[in-house]
Chain A
Amino acid sequence: MTEGHIVFIVDDDARIREALSELLESHGIRAITYGSAGEYVRADKPDLPASLILDVELPDINGLDLQKQIADGDHPPIIFITGHGDIPSSVRAIKDGAVDFLTKPFSDDALMRAVQAGLARDRQARLERAELAVLRDRYAALTPREREVLPLVISGLLNKQAAAELGISEVMLQIHRRNVMQKMDAASLADLVRMAEKLQIPVTHSRRTGGG
């Protein structure tokens, strides 16, 4: 096994759970199985890059409905499996972000491709989530004044304009600006703009209007 990752399997049929986890294990991937949607939702799950293999026909709630329910939170990419796949359900599932929609019985290749794609997607998502968390921490460390300066700087205002906007001297603005760059660990103005975008900080002034 390379780095840690895991696959969750939710299916009401024990034979399927057993066979799929065996198959994943033969590919060197650890799997944890659950008999129902409720069991999966309630369970304590390891915090690792993961894929979720989800049966559409579940005893408690439909797999597609579970997908909707967990859509708001951070959940692993879903690979649906079903006994009788119909086109409308599969389209709906894929539109809602599922990795794949496999009809039982399915081949080793198809499942493994989907699982790997799911894991890769989750790894990427986790990376992005981690990066965002760091940025948030950095942003939280800014002083109120620095948080006022940041949107003006990324809007592309000249120092003079920004200073005028805040009613402070140009020298003071330059000091704040340097602190923002340092605290946010931005290599350049472009880098800072990208970070602000991720943090969803709105651009309040464009240079043209602000110049007036």
Chain B
Amino acid sequence: MEPMPFQQRLAIPLGVCAIGIAVSWLAGTPFGLLAPMAAIFLFARGRAVLPLHAASVIGLAGTLFVAAFHGEAAHDLAVTWAAFFAVALCIGAILTSSAADEMRAQEALRDRERELSQLVNLGPMLLWRVTAEGHATFYNKRLIDFLGVNVADIDKPGMSRLAAHIQTLIHPDDAERALEESLHSLATGENFHSKYRLRRADGVYRWVESRVEPIRDEGERIVQWYGVAFDIDDQMRAEEALRQAHAKLAQATQAAGLAELSASIAHEVNQPLAAIVANSHACHRWLSANPPNVERAKITAERIIRDANSAADVVSRIRALFRQSVEPRSRTPLSGAIAEASSLMAEEAARRRVRLEIDVERNLPLVAFDRVQIQQVLINLIRNGFDAMDSTPDDRVLGMRVRRHGHLIQTEINDRGVGVEFPDKIFEPFFTTKENGMGMGLAICRSIIESHGGRLWAEKNEPRGARFIFTLPQELKTAQ
């Protein structure tokens, strides 16, 4: 049992003492002295419950004893005493019970506090509190244990606590982003939700997922922010491993395609090279003849130039296929790329008397794509559509439609031209139906779309013409 508060310890015995002395004086018997003795006893022990009752009972018993052995004369006085002790007993009982209630209440409060503190400090999460200005004011025990430092340990002169904390505790690669996002939340009052690497006491960075939300007063003013973070390092590592496996698989698949492609490319480059070598020998012979045949030599030299240019052309067109995109894929609406491509092609469309019909579904989700590459695909498909309608006398319409299909964003480019005779073969490298085509355009387009995790294929358009359709997967990750 906890000791009682001091005032209570004092008040009850003093009260009992005062009553006892008053009664002793009135009665003129020494038994009243029992009261101060009891008071001293009570005070010394600091306990009020049983001893107070005991003291009153002893006093009452003593008085009754006096009444019994001092005859009639003392009887009336003893009754009066008994009454006084009974009153003292009642007062004591009342005081005791109210004190006990208070003690129980306090004890319950302490239990609750202990429970809360256990919850806050020992639950499997990292908790903290931040002022409306972003000033951290509390770390729970788990967080202190994790970081190896407490809230006030990281302060740096000339730097806000927020910046100092982020700089010290978050991985340098994530720190800038985390600070930006924090400042954004503080400025707008939006919830903060992010993933970053947090430095553990042993110096190891662990991925955590962190959420911080504001607490507002009645006036909707932010008073505090409460933050919680979970260690998701193992999960992140597993995801990363999975992602790498996927990337490797994709690379292997692409490499298999490239092996076929490179054989075709080697052939395509070899042809002009063989012609160049033969022409060079011929040229050399014409010049070495006696007399030199300069006319023939000139002709062969011109052919050498022509063939060399054609080889260079093949190489430069193919380079696009192998170029690793330097730009990281940005998550932007596809409609932007469609608009850009169609505005780039608007002039050509007008010149070739083609009407562009663009129909993009509203509120499309964002997709991650390489803007330049997707634009290359769009322009290639649009231009193919134009080419297909060259012999169409009128009603030259090129349609572009973007729709959402579950997790896919589907883009369709249709024309009213001659249609596609070989819907599968046209995607093979060096297959072409055009007089001057190299047969690389659609092969490259397909390779680009597949590298984005999508598909590209051709269908018949109704009532005539062709439809080229490609899909891009919608980003499944939630926005950070």
Q: Chain B at the A interface: mostly helix, strand, loop or mixed? A: helix
Kindly state whether residue B92 has any CB partner on chain A within 8 Å.
no
Are B266 and A105 neighbours in the complex by a CB distance under 8 Å? Answer: no
Kindly state whether residue B303 has any CB partner on chain A within 8 Å.
yes
Of B271, B272, B278, B289, chain A has the most CB atoms within 10 Å of the CB of B278
Are A16 and B279 neighbours in the complex by a CB distance under 8 Å? Answer: no
Q: How far is the CB of B14 from chain A (nearest CB, A)?
A: 114
B273-290 contacts to A, CB under 8 A, are: 273-279, 281-282, 284-286, 289
Are B275 and A13 neighbours in the complex by a CB distance under 8 Å? Answer: yes
Of A23, A25, A104, A107, chain B has the most CB atoms within 10 Å of the CB of A23
Q: How far is the CB of B177 from chain A (nearest CB, A)?
A: 50
CA distance A25 to B296 in the complex (A): 10
CA distance A190 to B476 in the complex (A): 94
Are B276 and A105 neighbours in the complex by a CB distance under 8 Å? Answer: yes
Kindly state whether residue B259 has any CB partner on chain A within 8 Å.
no
State which of A22, A25, A84 has its C-beta within 8 Å of the C-beta of B267: A84
Kindly state whether residue A187 has any CB partner on chain B within 8 Å.
no
Q: Which residues of B contact A20 (CB under 8 A)?
A: 278
CA distance A138 to B277 in the complex (A): 51
Kindly state whether residue A19 has any CB partner on chain B within 8 Å.
yes
Q: How far is the CB of B270 from chain A (nearest CB, A)?
A: 5
A8-54 contacts to B, CB under 8 A, are: 13, 15-16, 18-20, 22-23, 25-27
Are B271 and A19 neighbours in the complex by a CB distance under 8 Å? Answer: no
Kindly state whether residue B307 has any CB partner on chain A within 8 Å.
yes
CA distance A20 to B281 in the complex (A): 10
Q: Which residues of B contact A83 (CB under 8 A)?
A: 266-267, 270-271, 274
Are A27 and B285 neighbours in the complex by a CB distance under 8 Å? Answer: yes
State which of A26, A57, A106 has its C-beta within 8 Å of the C-beta of B285: A26
State which of A18, A84, A107 has its C-beta within 8 Å of the C-beta of B277: A107
Are B281 and A108 neighbours in the complex by a CB distance under 8 Å? Answer: yes
Q: Which residues of A contact B272 (CB under 8 A)?
A: 15
CA distance A111 to B270 in the complex (A): 17
Q: How far is the CB of B428 from chain A (nearest CB, A)?
A: 15
List residues of B whose CB falls within 8 A of some A CB.
Answer: 263, 266-267, 270-279, 281-282, 284-286, 289, 296, 299-300, 303, 307, 310
The 7 closest A-B pairs by CB, nearest first: A104-B274, A108-B281, A19-B278, A26-B285, A105-B277, A105-B274, A15-B275
List residues of A whose CB falls within 8 A of some B CB.
Answer: 13, 15-16, 18-20, 22-23, 25-27, 57, 81, 83-84, 104-108, 111
Q: Knowing that A22-B303, A105-B270 touch, tell me 12 more A-B residue pairs with CB under 8 angstroms.
A: A16-B271, A19-B282, A22-B282, A26-B281, A26-B286, A81-B274, A83-B266, A83-B271, A83-B274, A84-B267, A104-B271, A105-B273
